[in-house]
Amino acid sequence: MGCFGFLKATMFLFNGIIFLAGSAILGVGIWVKVDSGSVLSALQKVQGAPGELGQLLNVGYLLIAVGAVLLILGFLGCCGAVRESRCMLLLFFIVILIVFIVEIAGVIVLLVFKPLAESLIQRVGDEAVKNIRKDFGKNKDTTGLWNSTMATLKCCGFFNYTDFTGSPFVNETGTYPSQCCSRSACNMTAAFDSAVSGCFGILKKLIDDNVVIIIAVALGIAALELAAMTVSMTLYCRIGSKRD
């Protein structure tokens, strides 16, 4: 097998794995959203599973989005290599390049423009609080997403329990989410005394505690993206030279 054949095989194998992973994630996402009753029943049979586990059904939309992107990416890479399609290889290269540029831009914003990043985070937090006060307790998806997030991270709201003040849930029940309290009766006084941290603070601490691992994973992903772009563009040029 020559160099060209090796590159084709590598491209096909790598993107075949991406395609299969995307198909599996997309399938799980669709199953979660379409047949939620069966998923909830299966989750409830898990020994020791908390009541909030059923709220994980709300990640279905995220799974569908991620699966669809991986599916398209894997398809372009596999077919582009096997069919020697310069168009597909170029599209594959462009998609990877866009993702890579977005990642680099995000790193630059975080490192060089830290005040701007903090301002953006504050604005995101303000929008999250508005969303909570508008839809928590009224919109099923919003309520489920926040319940599952708070149960997983052991946190309360984006900043703290006051994010829920004025929300449909608090207005109707007179209590705050159970995740905001260390005891069962979660009224305003209990939430204040419990002082459960907001999800943003917990997430920030989690990132700070695992910054070395995160950097290593990010560098590994960047290396894979660079390798994928290099191989796809090499095939693109080799195919072009064969046809000339």
Give the Cα-Cα-Cα angle 168, 141, 162 (nearest 5 degrees): 40
The tens digit of pLDDT for each residue in 24-76 reads 988 888 877 776 555 555 544 544 444 444 445 556 777 888 888 889 989 99
Measured between alpha carbons, how far is residue 99 from residues 71, 92, 104, 235 in Å?
A: 15, 11, 9, 20
Mean pLDDT of 95-124: 81
Cα 192 to chain center, whole Å? 31
How confident is the prediction for the chain on average, in pLDDT?
A: 83
Helices (runs of H) and strands (runs of E) counted in the chain: 10, 0
Q: How far apart are CA 179 and CA 163, in angstroms?
A: 13
H helix or E strand, kind and range, residue 235: helix 211-243
Q: How far apart are CA 80 and CA 61, in angstroms?
A: 28
Q: How far apart are CA 170 and CA 164, in angstroms?
A: 7
Q: How far apart are CA 186 and CA 170, in angstroms?
A: 10
Mean pLDDT of 188-196: 91
The packing angle between helices 211-243 and 60-82, to 10°, is 30
pLDDT band, residue 215 (cuts 50/70/90): confident
**Residue 37 has what pLDDT?**
57
**What is the CATH code of the structural domain delimited by 120-244?**
1.10.1450.10
**Residue 54 has what pLDDT?**
47
The most distant pair of C-alpha atoms in the chain lies apart, rounded to whole Å, by 77
Helices (H), 83-187: 86-111, 114-135, 140-153, 168-173
Mean pLDDT of 122-136: 92
**21 burial type by CB count under 10 A (0-12 exposed, 13-18 middle, 19+ buried):** middle
Backbone φ and ψ of 10, nearest 5°: -65, -45
- Comparing CA positions, the residue from 92, 70, 95 lying closest to residue 82 is 92
